[in-house]
Structure 1
Amino acid sequence: METTNHKKRDGREILCTDISTSSKKKYKRQNSEYTRIFLEALSTLPEQKKDIIRKLGFGSILSFSCYSNLQVIFEWLIYQFDTNSGTLSLEDGFTFTLSCHSAQMILGFPAGPKPVVRTKTMECSDFIMNIVKTHSPTVEHLCSLLSTDLNEDSFTVVFMLLLITAFIDPNATGVPNPAYYPNLKEIGSIPNLDWCSFTLDCLLRSIKKFLFRKMQNIELESGGCKILLVISYFEFLITSEFNLGNSVPRLPLWTTHVVNSYIALDSQQGNSRGFGRLSKKHITSTPFKGSKQQMEMPPEIKDYMELKFQGIASFQDKKRLQSLVSNFFHKMVQNSIPIVRGYVDDIQLVSSSSNKQEIDPTVGNEMQFSTQTKKNATTEEIKSKWLYTNRRKKFRKNEMEQFFQNMFLFHQIEVPKDNYNTSMDFKQILHKFSKGCSIGENSDGFDLPNNYPDYESSLLHPKDMASTIISNDSSVQFSEFLEQIKEG
């Protein structure tokens, strides 16, 4: 029996020796085979090496074990996929846009502030050559290196080459693209790269290439991370067979059994290549609830986080802090929805009055009425009636305190001195708050009108609050009223 395989690469074809029969046969490897080889190699690693992978931020791949054939459902999906917007639009009206955020929820990979680059250089090629000892390392060769006595940096490079070649951007040759080598030269910077956007970008490019070749009647298996698109779709399907919860990352939950079951359940009867049989959930019932995938944090925030957290050595600690900031940001955006609705209501209220008034939208998106509007008794009468004739809400003192805590956070009220007495000063602030407005203060808490401009949402985003409140019988902006409290 032969113990080695003789391989000759010609395009996508590999000439291999069948070990069991010593007979030679020619075949084309599928991308999924490289993924399987890679995942099986990871499963045999000792914990010490798995910890290196976890420290890099790719721990979710260690728990992933799906070997399903995704090609049929993947092709069904991409024919209904817009590669320009990254949006999946089905005939039944279902739409979902893939983004860096949704990719991170599925994959759990680092989504750092720096992009993954594509630049081929001789210096980086030599750097990789010194580690893997060949200019064209195959997936099989790289997997064999994983089990050797490599130092941590060399092991990291080999693992990343495999991750890119066999999972993120698999290709028919099973050989890494040298254009990705520069990303691996600085080991410490790997967790700071945006691997989620990179994975999504590779997927979109592969789909474009596949569809273009298809129009030319060229048979070619699509590359890219197929499981990313497939899971994005499966997360919306309604079935009583499985309850996968909403924990993230999602990748480890989608095993071969689960994926194969979803493929079978969603298949159209009598059409082996048709899907869409199952009903779809609303996005609020999925891990993507809140449409966060369309609420990317501004680059300024990402850059600032990178600057402030650069001294944190542990990737896991840094990721935890970044997650806290991300959750806080998305919570702010989510809580701004009622505020924007209130802004729309105010515009509608003024524009529908008997004397239509001009509204001056400012940079802060706050409502400002023209001089004529302020003097218009009819408009003020309508607004006053709208605020005071509605059922009143009740808020407890601890909720009001939380409100003012956030005021301090957003610098709407001057930060107190070191000898600040929280309990005593909050009582004074709350007293001024209730006295200055039409708010009822009693032993149970504070009463606000039911339509009092989305008080709860202002807890997280007071500065951009569009609606006005009535203080001392005059209409003032919310931020102005806080200034009155501060100065009073």
Structure 2
Amino acid sequence: MGKRNAPLPKEKKTEEDVVKGKGVSTRAGARTRTTACGLKAVEGSSSGKKRKVYDAETSGEEEPRTESNDDEDVVSIHNLTTTIRPMLSVGAQVKKSETVVSTRLRKGMHENDRIEVFSKLVSLLDDSRRDLVRKMGFGALLTVKLRNLSPEFAYWLVTRVDGANGVFYGGGDMEFSLDPIQFNCVLGLPMGTQPVPSLNGNLDTRNRNIADHIVKMYGDSGGVSVQKAWEFAVGMRDGQGKAVATIVPIVTREEEFEFRIAFMIVILELVLCPSTDGFTLAGRLLPAASVAPESNSYDWCTFCLEWLKIWCKMFAHQFDQHGVVSGLGGCSLFLMVFYLDHLNVVPRQWCVMPRVAVWSKSDVDALIEADKKAGGDYGRT
């Protein structure tokens, strides 16, 4: 009898960048780098009548199992598949144990509530500014009754999105493919014929000049300031960016032009396409802000969906590796309303569109509490 074959050495794990460009930040302006490791392959000796079959969990120091193979020189499909035991990522283990929220709380992580900041802006807008918001195509955002979002619920929702395939998995058997029309139904966003530009190279001369104006008007050392744009949008600053003592209605075309730009900056970063840049407009959103004067002609539904998918995909890479992530991107307001609308409860005013207008803070709080599981995660209803 020949010598026993020694166990094959483990395959070395290699690191690679799984998120190109800007990753999910743990703080404003930070970049992150994640690693991805493949599953251990089933390996075996191809010589002799005995075949060594290595289990995915077998270490190099343990003796591998030996299977008889007298009739053929290959391992049967049955034996091959039954010996593979996929190893769950850290994030998958957290999901399986339903400790997504508790893990986040234990790490002491928190998010700024952008919806609270946006709702305050809406409460300060006079009639002249509200009329302009409707002309821009975003009048539905004026109907938002919520004053804040549960940070734990928003965080859990993001862990349920497969950004790579555009699928949203709720609790139980809830599974939906995400589509741009859903952003129109939920938030009433325009679905114009023109694609929203995402690269500076896609801008024409006029929009490139507007982008330069935005940087000059609202820029600071950290980038384009959402705070400055917010103050101008409500009338606390004039056309030169100076503070004013009294808020007055918009009357000139120049004032209308500036309001459209300022309001677009605010809703992009606070509502439609949040990033992890805090209250600074993400650099990749600058081209989108430049089309504010003709915003109603653009397809914001597709743009916001793609932004959500990109951020959820980057979030998933970090979550799979660490089981917890600091910083959320993408439209949490959309995910929340879409999820609540599809729970197994009595429908709420299905004849009303957009859906965001239906949900009051008390209704949302009550349903979120009813959907909470014992361990703190959601998906009970």
Match of 2:353, SS state, is: coil
| Conserved 8 A contact 2:349-2:358 | yes
Report the counterpart of residue 109 of structure 1 in structure 2: 189
Q: Distance in 2 between matches of 1:49 and 1:196?
A: 23
> 8 Å contact 1:112–1:194 — kept in the other structure?
yes
Q: 1:85 and 2:85 equivalent?
A: no
Aligned residue for 1:164, secondary structure, equals: helix
Deviation digits for residues 6-56 of structure 1 (CA, Å, limit 9, x no counterpart): xxxx9539xxxxxxxxxxxxx997242x33212201211110111000011
Q: Distance in 2 between matches of 1:133 and 1:88?
A: 36
What residue is the counterpart of 1:145 in the other structure?
Answer: 232
TM-score (norm 1): 0.47
8 Å Cα contact 2:171/2:379 also seen in 1: no
Partners of 2:164 and 2:311 lie apart in 1 by 13
Equivalent residues of 1:199, 1:225 under 8 A apart: yes
Q: Which amino acid letter does the alignment assign opposite residue 189 of structure 1?
A: E
Could you say what secondary structure the match of 1:272 adopts?
Answer: coil
- Percent identity, aligned pairs only? 22
The answer on 1:30 being equivalent to 2:30 is no
Aligned partners of 1:176 and 1:163: how far apart in 2?
A: 10
Distance change >3 Å, CA 206–CA 179, structure 1 → 2: closer
CA distance in 2, matches of 1:179, 1:206: 13
Post-superposition Cα deviations, 1:374-429, rounded to whole Å, max 9, x if no partner, equal: xxxxxxxxxxxxxxxxxxxxxxxxxxxxxxxxxxxxxxxxxxxxxxxxxxxxxxxx
Work out which of the residue numbers 26, 45, 50 in structure 1 matches 2:130.
50
Q: Structure 1 residue 211 and structure 2 residue 291: aligned?
A: no
Length, aligned pairs only: 252
- Counterpart amino acid of 2:111? Q
1:276 aligned partner, one-letter code? G
The residue aligned with 1:337 is none
Shift of 1:248: 0.5
**Which has the larger displacement, 212-221 or 201-210?**
212-221
Partner residue of 1:165? 269
Q: Confirm or deny that 1:250 pairs with 2:355.
A: yes
Q: Which residue of 2 aligns with 1:154?
A: 258
Flag structure 2 segments of 5+ consecutive residues without an equivalent. Answer: 1-25, 30-107, 202-207, 240-254
Q: Which runs of 5+ in 1 are unaligned?
A: 1-9, 14-26, 279-488
Residue pair 2:211, 2:290 contacting (<8 A) in 1 also: no
Q: Say which SS state the counterpart of residue 30 (structure 1) adopts.
A: coil
* CA shift for structure 1 position 90: 4.7
Kindly tell me: are residues 145 and 80 of structure 1, through their superposed partners in 2, closer, same or farther at Cα, counting changes over 3 Å? closer
Aligned residue for 2:191, secondary structure, equals: coil
2:224 alignment partner, SS class: coil
SS in 2 for 1:260: helix
User: Match of 2:305, as an amino acid?
Assistant: L
- What is the rounded CA distance, in whole Å, between the counterparts of 1:84 and 1:254 in structure 2? 29
On the 8 A contact 1:107/1:196 being kept in 2, the answer is no
Distance 1:12 1:81 in 2: 23
Answer whether contact 2:264 2:289 (CA < 8 A) is retained.
yes
| 2:217 counterpart residue number | 131
Shift in Å, 1:133: 5.8
Counterpart CA distance in 2 for 1:185 and 1:78 is 28
Which residue of 24, 28, 32 corresponds with 1:12? Answer: 28
Contact 2:110–2:151 under 8 Å retained in 1: no
Q: Secondary structure at the match of 2:370?
A: helix
Name the TM-score, length of structure 2 as normaliser.
0.59
Q: Shift of residue 59 of structure 1?
A: 0.5
1:256-405 counterparts in 2 under 5 A? 256-268=361-373, 270-273=374-377, 275-278=378-381
User: For 1:236, which of 331, 342, 363 is the aligned residue?
Assistant: 342
Specify the SS of the correspondent of 1:170: coil
Instruction: Classify 1:246/1:177 alpha carbon distance in 2 versus 1 (closer, same or farther; 3 Å).
Output: same
Aligned to 1:72: 152
Q: Tell me what 1:449 maps to.
A: none
Post-superposition offset of 1:108:
0.2
Give the secondary-structure state (helix, strand or coil) at the position aligned to 2:329. coil
For 1:181 and 1:76, the matched residues in 2 are separated by 29
Give runs of aligned pairs for residues 448-487 of structure 1, distance below 5 A.
none
- Residue 91 (structure 1) shift: 6.2
Distance, in Å, in 1 between the alignment partners of 2:336 and 2:367 is 10
Q: CA deviation at 1:83?
A: 1.9
CA–CA distance in structure 2, aligned partners of residues 79 and 37 of structure 1: 24
Structure 2 vs 1, CA of residues 124 and 28 (structure 1 numbering), >3 Å: closer, same or farther?
Answer: farther
User: Residue 222 of structure 1 corresponds to which residue in structure 2?
Assistant: 328
**Amino acid of the structure 1 residue aligned with 2:274:** P
Give the secondary structure class of the aligned counterpart of 1:65.
coil
2:288 to 183, 204, 212: 183
Amino acid at match of 2:349: L
1: distance between equivalents of 2:210 and 2:284?
9
SS of 2:176 mapped into structure 1: strand
Secondary structure at 1:137 match in 2: strand
Shift in CA distance, 76/224, structure 1 to aligned 2, threshold 3 Å: same
For 1:29 and 1:234, the matched residues in 2 are separated by 23
- SS of 1:247's equivalent? coil
> Residues 11 and 61 of structure 1: is their aligned pair in 2 closer, same or farther, counting only changes over 3 Å?
same
Q: Which has the higher helix share?
A: 1
SS at match of 1:96: strand
Q: Return the index of the structure with the highest Cα Rg.
A: 1
Report the residue type matching 1:47 in the other structure: D
1:202 counterpart = 2:298: no
2: distance between equivalents of 1:28 and 1:77?
16
